[in-house]
Structure formats: C-alpha cells, structure tokens
Amino acid sequence: MKFAVLSDIHANWQALEAVLEHSHDADQILCLGDAVGYGAEPARCIDELARRGVPTLVGNHDRACTDRDILEWFNAEAADVIRWTIEQVGPDRLTWLKGLPEHSVLNDVLLVHASPRDPIYEYIVDASIAGPNLELLEDRVCFHGHTHVPGYWYLDSGGVAHNYWLGTTRLHGPVLVNPGSVGQPRDGNPDASYGIWDVEAATFEFRRVPYDRESAKQAILAAGLPERFAARLDAGR
Ligand code: ZN
C-alpha cells in the first residue's frame, strides 16, 4: 500500500493538480492540513479533496476560517487572505473545514498538521522543539507539515538530528517526517513538495514536482491578494 502524503496546499490549484498527476502510483492520497490560505483557489482545492474523499487534517489556516479568534495570531496580510477565503468558499465548504480532525492514526503512524504535542500550531523548526515531540512518539513514526520544509527529525547517538533529504529513507521511529508544502515551499526550491509512504517497505520517498507557477501567481494577483504571496512562489521562501 502506497500513500501520497500531501501538506500545506494553500489554495494553490496548479500545484495540487501537478502533484495529483505526479502521484498516480499511490493507492491513496492523504492531506496533513492547510488546504487554504495564501493562494487564490481555495474552493477548487477543497472540492478536489472532498470529491476524491482524501482523508484531510485541519491546519492553522483551515481553523482560522471557522474560528475568528485564531485570526489574531496571523500577520495582517495572511489574516486578510483568510477573510477573503471565508467569502470565497461559502458555508458548505466552511462546514467541511470545520469537520476536519486534528490528528489521526493510520497503520500505527501518527498524522498531524503541526506537531504531536500541539497538532495545529507548533512549528518544529529546531532540535529543542523536535526533541520533546520525538520523546512523545516513543518508537512511533509521525507525519507532519506546517513548516513547509521537507525533511525529518530523528534521534542518533549525538541527540536530535535533522535531515533535509530528497530521496528515499527507511522509517525507524521515533521520527518526525515532513513532506514539505505542495502550494508554498519554503526551502528555497519552488517546486511543489510531497512524499510517498510505502507501508510494507516502511519507507518514505521525498518528491518535487515543477508546476505552472505563472498561472498560480496570476491567479493571486487577479484576485487582488497580496503580491508578496505571488512573489514567494518563485523564491520558494
Ligand atoms: Zn501552511
């Protein structure tokens, strides 16, 4: 059984379409949250996930669409896009977003948007944050997103270690595996990022996919969303 593990689509239809096409060898798609925010086509992205019945978790941007208090934590431009997104998607899709779970377990692997101890909001950006989360996992594997940087945190003899690795790795728990972001990569590589989890082989393959960035950028500008969110698609930052 092979799962394509997607995260942080962020309403980037062109990137989602490219990744869905590229991941045709997977038996099923999973999404670790943040279907919306930043990008110009939230309705189209939600509809595709819903139509395919993709198991999807709630991310911080998804939650902000249905809980206005969360918006205070966002920077002004990101919050503006959330308000725009709420209008764009309408009540039925908001209900879909509201119904997304905070975590799930699949074949003994924990799935969250952000981190095991704080499934929607915590950014695993350094060893001091990865450490306690690896401890919580005991010997389990966790897939998470949120930082938009592909790679994995694990324990070696020297303590907490991180690998930024575009290839295939064997899954030995405890390990925190981030497939990167489909719709807004932040590791300096603008190509859409996702991964393939092979359950029987216990491996994770990191993949990158070029997509039609020009159309995604044009859609952001045409919708009147902040230019910065178009520009960063090229920078991959
Ligand atoms: Zn995100």
**What mean pLDDT comes out for the span 34-62?**
98
Q: What is the pLDDT of residues 49-83, one digit of tens each?
A: 999 999 999 999 999 999 989 988 899 999 999 99
Instruction: Count Cα atoms within 13 angstroms, Cβ side, for 72.
Output: 3
**pTM over 0.85, yes/no:** yes
Compute the distance from residue 107 Cα to the ligand 1 centre, in Å: 25
Q: Rounded mean pLDDT of the chain?
A: 97
Compute the distance from residue 183 Cα to the ligand 1 centre, in Å: 9
Do 203 and 5 contact (CB within 8 A), yes or no?
no
Instruction: Count Cα atoms within 13 angstroms, Cβ side, for 31.
Output: 30
Does the pLDDT value for residue 201 go beyond 80? yes
Do 110 and 117 contact (CB within 8 A), yes or no?
no
Compute the distance from residue 57 Cα to the ligand 1 centre, in Å: 12
Does the pLDDT value for residue 117 go beyond 90? yes
Compute the distance from residue 73 Cα to the ligand 1 centre, in Å: 14
Compute the distance from residue 150 Cα to the ligand 1 centre, in Å: 12
- Specify the pLDDT at position 30: 98
- Specify the pLDDT at position 166: 77
Compute the distance from residue 140 Cα to the ligand 1 centre, in Å: 24
Q: How far is CA 193 from CA 27, 73, 182, in A?
A: 18, 26, 5
**What mean pLDDT comes out for the span 36-61?**
98
- Specify the pLDDT at position 170: 96
DSSP labels for 159-209?
A: EEEEE--SSEEE--SSEEEE---SSS--SS--SEEEEEEETTTTEEEEEEE
Q: What is the pLDDT of residues 6-32, one digit of tens each?
A: 999 999 999 999 999 999 999 999 999
Compute the distance from residue 3 Cα to the ligand 1 centre, in Å: 20
Measured distance CA(101)–CA(129) in Å, rounded: 23
Compute the distance from residue 170 Cα to the ligand 1 centre, in Å: 25
Does the pLDDT value for residue 158 go beyond 90? no
Banded pLDDT at 199 (limits 50, 70, 90): very high
Compute the distance from residue 141 Cα to the ligand 1 centre, in Å: 21
Does the pLDDT value for residue 165 go beyond 80? no
- Specify the pLDDT at position 12: 98
